[in-house]
Structure 1
Amino acid sequence: MRIGELAQRTGVSPRLLRYYEEQGLITPSRATNGYREFAESHVDVVLQIKGLLDAGLPTRIIEQLLPCLDKPETIYVPDVTPEMITTLQHEQARLSERIDFLTRNRDAVAAYLEKVLSVKSANHAMT
């Protein structure tokens, strides 16, 4: 598929897809006319990249994580440094905090919605 179709299917702009390519996150093949050609598997990879970026991970960490996402049991880290380990631990802690925050917000919205619906149901029963 061409870059426009991948962009449409993933909600990621062609410009951003080219950036992912520049960062080494995706590697399309090239047609004889020079156009980028993406495989079906690129859809999932781009969505994973998008999710990791949305979570706040920098592309340098995403590049290290991508090989592990399809087969986490096959972890290959060519040059793990103490700084990389510290960065990953920091990112893991930050993501856990964000998950906790989102969970609290979700639960608050659910409780509010439950209350609103019960009041509405009670008001409707009175009429």
Structure 2
Amino acid sequence: MRIGELAERTGVSTRSLRYYEQHGLLKARRGSNGYRQYTEDDVKLVSEIRALLAVGFTLEDTRPFVDCLRRGHSTGGACAESVEVYQRKLDEIDAEIRALLNRRAEVAAQLAQSCPGCFVRG
């Protein structure tokens, strides 16, 4: 399939697909006419990248998942390197949650001090 069809099937712009290729995450083959050619495996790779980006992973974070799929695993998260990225991301999210809870407590304390008797939601 050509780049336009891959873009349509995965919901990713052709510009993004070229960007993934530029960063070594997607490897296009070239047809005799010079056009990029992709396979069903590429649909799976791009879908994996897109799903990971949608939940906050960086493009570089997706690399172990893509490599795992290229090695023939049914999911990108089946390899130890991918599991490490998942665990690191969960640690980052937990740290963000703690920081947000601390900020919330500070704002609630400021509200309580500024407006005795005001209701603090949550």
Task: Tell me if both proteins adopt one fold, taking TM over 0.5 as the criterion.
Answer: yes
Structure 2 equivalent of residue 6 of structure 1: 6
When normalised by structure 1's length, the TM-score is 0.58
- Residues matched between the structures, number: 89
CA contact (8 A) 2:48 2:65 kept: no
CA contact (8 A) 1:67 1:76 kept: no
Q: 1:93 to 1:21 in 2, by over 3 A?
A: same
Hey, what's the Cα distance between the residues in 1 that align with 2:27 and 2:63? Answer: 12
Q: Identity over aligned residues, as a percent?
A: 39
CA contact (8 A) 2:3 2:37 kept: yes
Structure 1 equivalent of residue 36 of structure 2: 36
CA contact (8 A) 1:53 1:59 kept: yes
Amino acid at match of 1:18: R
When normalised by structure 2's length, the TM-score is 0.61
Q: 1:31 to 1:96 in 2, by over 3 A?
A: farther
Hey, what's the Cα distance between the residues in 1 that align with 2:19 and 2:8? Answer: 16
The root-mean-square deviation of aligned C-alpha atoms, in Å, is 2.8
Q: 1:89 to 1:47 in 2, by over 3 A?
A: same
Greater RCO (Cα-Cα under 8 Å, separation 6 or more): 1
| Structure 1 residue 97: Cα displacement | 8.7
Amino acid at match of 1:34: G
Secondary structure at the aligned position of 2:32 is classed as coil
Hey, what's the Cα distance between the residues in 2 that align with 1:97 and 1:10? Answer: 32
Amino acid at match of 2:20: Y
Hey, what's the Cα distance between the residues in 2 that align with 1:38 and 1:7? Answer: 11
CA contact (8 A) 1:55 1:95 kept: no
**Deviation per CA, 1:17-50, whole angstroms, max 9, x where unpaired?**
1011111111010012211000111111111100
